[in-house]
Amino acid sequence: MTPTPLHLDDSGLVREALARASILFTDVDGTLVAPGGVLLADASGAPSLATAEAVVELNRAGLSAVITTGRNRPQCGEITRLLGWRAFIAELGCVVQFDRSQEPEYLMGDWPEDALQPGETPFQAMIRAGALQALTREFPGRIEEHTPWHTDRVATHVLRGNVDRNQAQAALDRLDLPIDIVDNGIVNPPRHTLVGVSEIHAYHLVPRGSHKTTAITRVLERRGLTREDAVSIGDSATDVEMADVTALCVLVGNALDDERVRAAAAARDNVAVTQRQRGEGWAEFVWAWLSARRD
């Protein structure tokens, strides 16, 4: 059995990291918000101010929070504005906005300059390369566009379903463009047309070599900060990689439902987990952060 990561209160390492950190990189879905993307609700979806109160206290303390998510740029812009934050990382690290009033920077991983045709976005290039057809042919009924989240994207596709990731990657590797498929964790869409699929995952198609972690490092450099100044929080196996570029990666309790998350966490010594789930876990983390900084 995979060992469980440290609890937030368990270790001096956790407190030390929290005492020093001044910037947070936070996932959104499954982490900050309740099912359906609701902020003003507890993990079960019942109305609650717990997460919003933690956002207010974080803002009062003058700490920075940077949304770091697979969601698209328009969504991140609005969430950031509503919460009173400035910077965000959208489309799993491919779109970095240092301030929401500025133009974004695009990070295309290892793609060569000539990967795109004139005027083409990476999103369009993946369609041209046949990425979506390759996956629906390989897994009939088991993968589809994650509507309505699939729109207004420039760099990545977001799909949902349940497929063997290695087999999916092999199908993509037969195409002319280097495209990776990333499992972004368990989702609960209210509607879908998948057949015979119980646990549904969100999958992103990304230019090979692009990661949330590269974007986090860009934001830190831009602000003159280092890894030791930063903490991160999320709920998916991809989010655990944020531990590699921040002092500490915190997982909300529901993250441990996914065995891939447990394995990724066990491979690192700077991952901790909250007792509560989703936004309540996020709030638990913020209170621990504020308390560590006061001591």
Q: Which stretch binds Mg ion (CB under 5 A): 6-14, 25-33, 110-118, 284-292?
A: 25-33
CB nearer Mg ion, residue 30 or residue 279? 30
Instruction: Answer whether the bond into residue 148 is a cis peptide, omega within 30°.
Output: yes
**Can you read off the two tokens belonging to residue 154?**
């420039």
168-175 LR contacts (CB < 8 Å, sep 24+): 168/135, 168/138, 168/139, 168/143, 168/203, 171/134, 171/135, 171/137, 171/138, 172/131, 172/134, 172/135, 172/205, 174/134, 175/129, 175/130, 175/131, 175/134
Report in angstroms how near the CB of residue 29 gets to Mg ion at its nearest: 4
CA pseudo-torsion sign 212, 193, 141, 44: positive
Report in angstroms how near the CB of residue 28 gets to Mg ion at its nearest: 7
Report in angstroms how near the CB of residue 239 gets to Mg ion at its nearest: 6
CB nearer Mg ion, residue 92 or residue 168? 92
Report in angstroms how near the CB of residue 235 gets to Mg ion at its nearest: 4
CB nearer Mg ion, residue 125 or residue 265? 265
Instruction: Check: CB of residue 37 under 8 Å from CB of residue 30.
Output: no
Among 163, 175, 173, CA closest to 138: 163
Report in angstroms how near the CB of residue 114 gets to Mg ion at its nearest: 33
Task: Single out the residue of 29, 42, 144, 180 in contact with Mg ion (rule: CB under 5 A).
Answer: 29
Report in angstroms how near the CB of residue 186 gets to Mg ion at its nearest: 9
By beta-carbon distance, which residue lies closest to Mg ion? 30
Report in angstroms how near the CB of residue 263 gets to Mg ion at its nearest: 17
Q: Does 183 bind Mg ion (CB under 5 A)?
A: no
CB nearer Mg ion, residue 15 or residue 204? 204
The answer for residues whose C-beta is within 8 angstroms of residue 96's C-beta and 6 or more apart is 88, 89, 90, 104, 105, 106, 107, 215, 218, 219
Task: Single out the residue of 21, 23, 25, 27 in contact with Mg ion (rule: CB under 5 A).
Answer: 27
**Residue numbers 203-242 binding Mg ion by CB under 5 A:** 235-236
CA atoms within 13 A on the CB side of 63: 27
Report in angstroms how near the CB of residue 119 gets to Mg ion at its nearest: 32
CB nearer Mg ion, residue 122 or residue 281? 281
CB nearer Mg ion, residue 27 or residue 42? 27
Task: Single out the residue of 5, 30, 109, 161 in contact with Mg ion (rule: CB under 5 A).
Answer: 30
CA pseudo-torsion sign 188, 43, 47, 184: negative
C-alpha to C-alpha distance for 2 and 208, rounded to whole angstroms: 29
Per DSSP bridges, beta strands 271-273 and 248-251 are: parallel
Binding residues for Mg ion, total number by CB under 5 A: 5
* Residue ranges that bind Mg ion, judged by CB under 5 A: 27, 29-30, 235-236
